[in-house]
Structures are given as structure tokens and as C-alpha cells.
Amino acid sequence: MVAGMLAGAVATAVLAAGGGAVGADAPCYEMRVGARFSPPTAFIPSSAITYDTKLVPAGSSIEVEQRGGPGDMAVTVRVKGMKPGHAYGVHVHQKPCGADPAAAGGHYQHHVDPEQPSENPAYVNARNEVWLDFTAGGDGSGEASARHGWEFRTGGAGSVVLHREQGGAGDRLACFTVPFAPVG
């Protein structure tokens, strides 16, 4: 797992053939991708971009896993090298990352708020979106998981964004482009 993270953008997607016979606990979709953060000005562009190297240092790393079956999806994020003790807000966003922190668009929403950008708490919450907030431990590592009874729409989710604060908003510190897909 660590080797995959060090290698940069390494994606593995495993699709079981003929999902009908798979047991309830056996995921029929699993995707894992990892990368090291670098600034948008880096000579070699990374799929993981940091906009704030104080809170998300260059060289810190992230790994995102998506797994599940129809109507049951789990997303997990693991990080290393963050600022110890800092409480990061983290969500799945709609689009891939760019040099501009705004490139990732808004949060992925299961029920899409007709008013965008969405600020309505009926839509902006951890049940309707994928929130992966974590507080970095003393060694700078962190982990969070979210499980939902729904799955991403094709092309609807493109990144994981780290924010300065928890609770749904705040400055964008970093962004990791992730090839999310429907799990069913």
C-alpha cells in the first residue's frame, strides 16, 4: 500500500465478474489511488495539488479508496505528513483538481440542490454528501471513512478536497483528483 502511494498516481480497479453470486460482504467494486502532494507550480504535475504548504506540506501523501456494491458505497481517505493536531474538513467534490482551487467545483451531492453553489443545510450534510473530516495525529497521519446507501453518478465525482476547517466549508488547502465511479 505504501509502495503504491510512493509511486504517485497508481490506480487499481477490480471488477468482479458476474456480481450476482458474490456474497453480501464481498465488494464487487474496489478502487484505490494514491499520490504525493505538490504545489500547482511543480515541474512534474501531480494528481494531488497543495495550495497551502503550511497545512498540507509538499511531499505529504494521500490515499483514497472506494469500494462497495449496488446501493452500498464506502469511501476512505488516509493521509500522511499533515500538520499534527489540525482538524481538516474533507469532502468529495464534483470535478478534477486544477491550479485554481475552485476548479474542483462544489461538493458531490446525492440529492442535488437546485440552487448552486449549494449552501442549504438540507443538502449540505454528511448524509447527502461524502464528508471525510479528520484530525491529524501527533505523527501527521489521519484517516476517515464514509459509508452511504447510494453510489456516485457516472462522471459526477472527480476529487477529494481538503479544507482549513471542518463542517462543510472553508478555504481549500489541497485537492486530489480521483477516478470515482458508480460501484454497482
Spatial neighbors of 56 by CB under 8 A, at least 6 apart, are: 37, 50, 82, 162, 173, 174
- Amino acid at site 142: G
Q: Do the Cβ atoms of 76 and 34 come closer than 8 Å?
A: no
State the nearest-atom distance from the C-beta of 91 to Cu ion, in Å. 3
State the nearest-atom distance from the C-beta of 12 to Cu ion, in Å. 25
State the nearest-atom distance from the C-beta of 29 to Cu ion, in Å. 23
Q: Do the Cβ atoms of 161 and 175 come closer than 8 Å?
A: yes
Q: Do the Cβ atoms of 5 and 36 come closer than 8 Å?
A: yes
Which residue lies nearer to Cu ion by CB, 28 or 175?
A: 175
Spatial neighbors of 5 by CB under 8 A, at least 6 apart, are: 34, 35, 36, 61, 62, 63, 80
Which residue lies nearer to Cu ion by CB, 161 or 178?
A: 161
- Selection from 68, 73, 66 nearest residue 28 by Cα: 68
The β-bridge partners of 156 are none
Which residue lies nearer to Cu ion by CB, 72 or 129?
A: 129
- Amino acid at site 18: G
Which residue lies nearer to Cu ion by CB, 80 or 95?
A: 95
- Contact set for Cu ion, span 90-119 (CB under 5 A): 91
State the nearest-atom distance from the C-beta of 160 to Cu ion, in Å. 9
- Contact set for Cu ion, span 52-91 (CB under 5 A): 91
State the nearest-atom distance from the C-beta of 79 to Cu ion, in Å. 15
Q: Which residue is nearest to Cu ion (CB)?
A: 91
Which residue lies nearer to Cu ion by CB, 10 or 86?
A: 86
State the nearest-atom distance from the C-beta of 153 to Cu ion, in Å. 18
C-alpha cell at 90: 474533507
Quick check: helix, strand or coil at residue 43? Answer: coil
- Contact set for Cu ion, span 108-167 (CB under 5 A): 161
Which residue lies nearer to Cu ion by CB, 2 or 99?
A: 99
How many residues bind Cu ion (CB under 5 A)? The answer is: 2
Quick check: helix, strand or coil at residue 68? Answer: strand
> Residues in the site for Cu ion, rule: CB under 5 A?
91, 161
